[in-house]
Amino acid sequence: MFCNQCGKANPDDAHLCGYCGASLTGSPATRRLVRRRDQKVIAGVAAGVANYFGWNVTAVRVLWLLLLLFAGTGGLLYLILWIVMPLEG
């Protein structure tokens, strides 16, 4: 049985991954794209996107800044996601 979290092989009768400790039984948790309250700077959109994809929040913020400065689409995308994404809670 392979771990969905780290991808390493585990014995078939294991309940927890021996490498990362993730649960190997039960249904996987559903991911939701939500704005984060605890890591927000402006509205929590970048923190929510980073949490959803498992990326570093600082890297997402830098990417957003680059999109805003060079492509001009970062501000509009941020505003749309601010309106559409529900607040975590």
- Residue 70: phi and psi, rounded to 5, are -100, -35
Q: What is the pTM of this model?
A: 0.63
Confidence of residue 29 (pLDDT cuts 50, 70, 90): low
Band (pLDDT 50/70/90 cuts) for residue 3 is: confident
What letters, b where the CB count within 10 A reaches 16 and e where it falls short, cover 58-81? eebbeebeebeeeeeebeeebeeb
| pLDDT at 23 exceeding the cut of 90 | no
- Average pLDDT (40-69) is 89
Is residue 42 exposed (0-12), middle (13-18) or buried (19+ Cβ within 10 Å)?
A: exposed
Q: Alpha carbon of 7 to those of 2, 3, 17, 72: distances in Å?
A: 6, 5, 10, 38
